[in-house]
Amino acid sequence: MIRVRLDIQYKGTPFGGWQKQKAKGPPTLQGLFEELLSLIFNQPIRVIGSGRTDAGTHARQQVAHCDLPHLPENLRYKLNRLLPKEVAVFRAGPAPENFHALASVVSKTYVYRVWNHSVPHPFLAETSHWVQSPLSLPALNSFAKVFQGTHDFKSFQTRGTPVPDTTRTLFLSEWVERRPHLLEYRVRGNGFLKQMVRNLVGLQLYAQRKGLSPQDLKVILEAKDRREAKDTAPSHGLILWKVHYS
């Protein structure tokens, strides 16, 4: 068997997230790839991703690995022909035997996009969160700075499978105005808890609306209590931007 790395891009709108689900629902990315690869190789193929993305969340770069009996030269082309138009494989090549899409991750970058205008944006409706009331970039950045560094992010973890340790390090946590009215929250960390980015963005937008201070956010972070951190930003504003390996 050959270990193969897949670099994948997708618009999450029609999908039920990355992870295969037992319950009926929209197709998942993992399910789709396993189905297509099993079809191509005529045997069951398992696909491991760098991590889950929520239903409706997008990926500029998701990474996965699988073990294949051989590596056809035109695998990328074959997959792109079979995949729906919302998914593309931009790399499908051999990886070192010990490469593991999930275990080898060093850090990940997410981008959360906010369209901040009184008029909605038809072309960004599915890939950004629309906020009508004017946001202040400096205020948002004073919030974002609170999260930078190593902290216990328990306040920002949506309940799910328990994890032994909720401490994570954020190397980058900043807002930029990508172009007029399009704000982007860029965050890079060594790991993220369940819905952590959506919860961080949700609180920062809530804090703007309610006039909270960076000190208020610090208190919420230090409470290590999910009930203290209001609001989860919608999934369709979130993009898994890049998965970093060593």
Region of 64-72, 86-94, 96-104, 105-113 interacting with a second copy (CB under 8 A): 86-94
239's enclosing H/E stretch is strand 238-245
Closest CA to 47 of 29, 59, 72: 29
Region of 9-17, 48-56, 176-184, 225-233 interacting with a second copy (CB under 8 A): 9-17
67 is catalytic: no
Count of residues in contact with a second copy, rule CB under 8 A:
22
Closest CA to 166 of 200, 146, 196, 145: 196
| Residue 86 vs 152, nearer CB to a second copy | 86
The amino acid sitting at 224 is K
Region of 29-37, 96-104, 118-126, 175-183 interacting with a second copy (CB under 8 A): 118-126
> Which runs of consecutive H residues, i.e. helices, occur in 93-195?
137-147
Contact between residue 50 and residue 29 where contact means Cβ atoms under 8 Å apart: no
If binding is defined by CB under 8 A, does position 120 make contact with a second copy?
Answer: yes
Identified binder of a second copy from the candidate list 2, 39, 71, 77, rule CB under 8 A: 77
Q: Please, what is the minimum distance in Å from the beta carbon of residue 74 to a second copy? A: 11
The count of C-alpha atoms lying within 13 angstroms of the C-alpha of 41, restricted to the half-sphere facing its C-beta, is 20
| Residue 117 vs 230, nearer CB to a second copy | 117
Contact between residue 158 and residue 143 where contact means Cβ atoms under 8 Å apart: no
Question: Helix, strand or coil for residue 96?
Answer: coil
The amino acid sitting at 124 is L
Identified binder of a second copy from the candidate list 22, 73, 96, 123, rule CB under 8 A: 123
Q: Please, what is the minimum distance in Å from the beta carbon of residue 86 to a second copy? A: 5
Q: Enumerate binding residues for a second copy (CB under 8 A).
A: 9-11, 58, 76-77, 80, 85-90, 118-123, 125-127
